[in-house]
Amino acid sequence: MYQYSWNAFFPLLVKGFHASASSVEVGFALFVISSTSFQVLSGRISDLRGPRVMGSLGVLAFSFGLILSSLIPSLPLFYATWTLGSIGEGVLYGISLNLAIKWYAERRGLASGLVSMGFGLGGALVNPLIELSNNFRSSMLAIGVASLILLPLFLLSRYPSDVRGSSPGETLRETRFWLIYVSFVLASLPLLVASSSLGELGQYLNSVEYTIATIYFPIASGVGRPIMGYLTDRLGRLRGIDYMTAGILLGTSLVVIGFLGRNLLLLAGIALVGIMGGTTYPLYSALVGDLYGPRYSTANTSLLYTGKIVSGVLGSLIFSSLFQYSNVLGLGFIMGATALSTVSLALLHRITRGAS
């Protein structure tokens, strides 16, 4: 919600606070930083104590972050309330994903893809309502109140007790983990750019085309996850991630061509970036679960997820600054990053073969 509804909320926030686009964009950077960094602590606690307490606290933070954001009068206060809700979303995402990773070892890719799909499809369901509301306050309040229904679900959740795996300290000493980390950061950039800067990339689109893009982008990001997860279960995790990265590179190329040519190839590229880019975290998390076991997977995948801070800052503030200075420089930046992700994947293949 905090990520995939951002493009729908963004123009309403600019209008509602009478603020500049760049100042409102800070909210997205705060989401990325807070939702990822707090996962490290919540993931460690959940692995040791179970998911119920942290999951319940995550629901409350998620809900009240939206409710309070609908009521506050100024942009600085919005930063604080949006950060609270972002922490909640990060906690919920980490726990939900690892319920799949821990319980479904034989179908880890498909299970993690199905769980994470909900985070993309949720945005697709509410984005038309957000845009029809013509203000951010009523829609945030409604979504915040409705999301409290998740509380009893997390009160009933639990992790399996008979599993093993490497601790976070052991995982961090592995070269393979850092290659996974670098590849994840770079491969995630196009998705974060599309999530935070669709308004800039689609500046030449008419209002109908832009609205359509804000609806199908989270759908595309959601539906690709179980499909690619299933394929990696069948083909092998690394081989499937290779196909994912190739798809992201193709989608990014279409975005660049579409923007430079001022045509609808941009929309095709955004769709492909959504389909393939949305699978980065569930697939890389499934890979971490494969390599390091499910016992401490919530903590280990949360360490991986901190890479989203890097890609989020690069894909929002840095990209936006480069793009405003020179469209070509900004577009070249995301193309280069995506291409470099394939290099770290190639090294990971080599090391993994050597370790087997």
Residue listed under structure tokens 């770290």 = 344
How far CA 159 is from CA of 47, 50, 96, 353, in Å, comes to: 8, 6, 11, 31
Q: Which residues contact 334 (CB under 8 A, 6 or more apart)?
A: 189, 190, 193, 252, 315, 319
Domain boundaries, the chain: 5-354
pLDDT tens sequence for the chain (356 residues): 777 788 788 889 999 999 888 789 889 888 888 888 888 889 999 999 999 999 999 999 999 999 999 999 999 999 999 999 999 999 998 999 999 999 998 899 999 999 888 776 777 778 888 878 888 899 999 999 999 998 998 888 999 988 899 999 999 999 999 999 999 999 999 988 887 778 788 788 888 888 888 778 878 888 889 999 999 999 999 999 999 999 999 999 999 999 999 998 999 999 999 999 989 989 999 999 999 999 999 999 999 989 988 887 788 778 888 888 898 998 999 899 999 998 989 999 888 775 54
Q: What is the CATH number of domain 5-354?
A: 1.20.1250.20
Whole-prediction pTM: 0.83
How far CA 110 is from CA of 250, 301, 328, in Å, comes to: 23, 17, 37
Token digits of residue 225: 């996850």
